[in-house]
């Protein structure tokens, strides 16, 4: 297959935002409201918004919400986990089998079914994703890790299975033969964008196991704070990777 090279430029005009540690400021605010809100309605609203946030960091906050004293809030937290679609929520939901309220159990069972189906889907690709390198030298480690988490999330949502660390070549080949999918190693870098203050996400795909170059996908953005740029770029670059590398 011919090695593709793909470049997408994304220009953003958004309001600046301050990055708080590894968590999106909006996610952090909603998490505080879910934990500390004095009215159950406010906590319900926070749980629903976290579910719609598309932020993997919201999972831990919603999991904690399953222990809220209000059954309505616990049900909203379970619904938020289902909408968020993080497979890691299965373990959290399974740990709450002693839930006493039927309304909450129904919401939890629905979330469990959805997340288990997500975990058990046949893979579209088998991916080694070792992380993200900051080539700009200007980003905090927390910001880089948050970008990595968002990319992992999008890979899973796109139907990729992520290879475990230190996997043997024999184990990888056995799985690929069984699943009949492509293996791919992704080398990801954050680089300066073409415009001043802009950022670029560059993803090089290499056959796994092996060293055959599959191609490079790049997306870039400008006219916003670094965190906002990376939040926009992370899902976009994975979307383009799935198309450029022929994941079916």
For residue 121, pLDDT beyond 70? yes
pLDDT category, 6, cuts 50, 70, 90?
A: very low
β-strand 125-134 against 182-192: which pairing, if any?
A: parallel
**% of the chain beyond a pLDDT of 70:** 91
pLDDT for position 194: 92
pLDDT for position 19: 34
pLDDT digits (tens, 9 = 90+) for 52-97: 998 999 999 999 999 999 999 999 999 999 999 999 999 999 999 8
By CB atoms closer than 10 A (0-12, 13-18, 19+), residue 209 is middle
pLDDT for position 81: 97
pLDDT digits (tens, 9 = 90+) for 209-230: 999 999 999 999 999 999 999 9
CB atoms within 10 A of CB 96: 17
Q: Please state the pTM of the whole predicted model.
A: 0.79
For residue 20, pLDDT beyond 60? no
pLDDT category, 9, cuts 50, 70, 90?
A: very low
Return d(Cα 144, Cα 140) in angstroms, integer.
6
Return d(Cα 126, Cα 163) in angstroms, integer.
7
Q: For helices 25-36 and 58-65, what crossing angle results, to 10°? A: 10
Average pLDDT of 99-113? 97
Per CATH, which fold does 37-120 belong to?
A: 1.25.10
Q: Are 81 and 47 spatial neighbours (Cβ–Cβ below 8 Å)?
A: no
Evaluate whether the domain defined by 5-18+123-244 bears CATH number 3.40.50.
yes
Average pLDDT of 139-149? 93
pLDDT digits (tens, 9 = 90+) for 159-213: 999 999 889 999 999 999 999 999 999 999 999 999 888 999 999 999 999 999 9
Question: DSSP string of 77-91?
Answer: HHHHHHHHT-TTHHH
- Mean pLDDT over all residues of the chain? 89
Segments making up each domain of the chain, as ranges: 5-18+123-244, 37-120
pLDDT category, 247, cuts 50, 70, 90?
A: confident
Question: How far, in Å, are 41, 59, 124, 185, 246 from residue 212 at the CA level?
Answer: 54, 36, 19, 10, 15
For residue 2, pLDDT beyond 80? no
pLDDT for position 17: 33
Return d(Cα 200, Cα 84) in angstroms, integer.
26
Return d(Cα 50, Cα 63) in angstroms, integer.
11
| CA-only gyration radius of the chain, Å | 20
Choose between 144 and 25: higher pLDDT.
144
pLDDT category, 23, cuts 50, 70, 90?
A: low
Q: Which of 73, 115, 76, 79 is nearest to 94 (CA)?
A: 115
């Amino acid at each position: 297959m011919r090695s593709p090279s793909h470049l997408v430029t994304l220009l953003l005009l958004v309001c600046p935002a301050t990055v708080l540690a590894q968590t999106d400021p909006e996610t952090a605010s909603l998490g505080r409201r879910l934990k500390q809100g004095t009215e159950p309605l406010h906590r319900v609203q926070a749980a629903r918004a976290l579910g719609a946030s598309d932020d993997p960091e919201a999972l831990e906050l919603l999991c904690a919400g399953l222990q809220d004293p209000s059954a309505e809030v616990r049900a909203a937290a379970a619904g938020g986990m289902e909408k968020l679609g993080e497979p890691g929520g299965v373990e959290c939901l399974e740990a709450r089998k002693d839930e006493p309220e039927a309304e909450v159990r129904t919401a939890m069972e629905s979330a469990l079914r959805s997340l288990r189906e997500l975990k058990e889907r046949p893979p579209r690709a088998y991916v080694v994703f070792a992380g993200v390198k900051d080539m700009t030298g200007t980003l905090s480690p927390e910001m880089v890790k948050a970008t990595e988490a968002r990319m992992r999330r999008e890979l899973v949502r796109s139907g990729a299975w992520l290879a475990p660390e230190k996997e043997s070549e024999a184990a990888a080949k056995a799985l690929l033969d069984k699943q009949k999918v492509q293996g791919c190693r992704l080398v990801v870098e954050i680089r300066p964008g073409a415009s001043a203050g802009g950022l670029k996400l560059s993803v090089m795909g290499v056959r796994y196991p092996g060293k055959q170059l599959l191609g490079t996908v790049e997306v870039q953005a400008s006219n916003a704070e670094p965190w906002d740029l990376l939040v926009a770029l992370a899902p976009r670059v994975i979307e383009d990777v799935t198309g450029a590398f022929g994941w079916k």
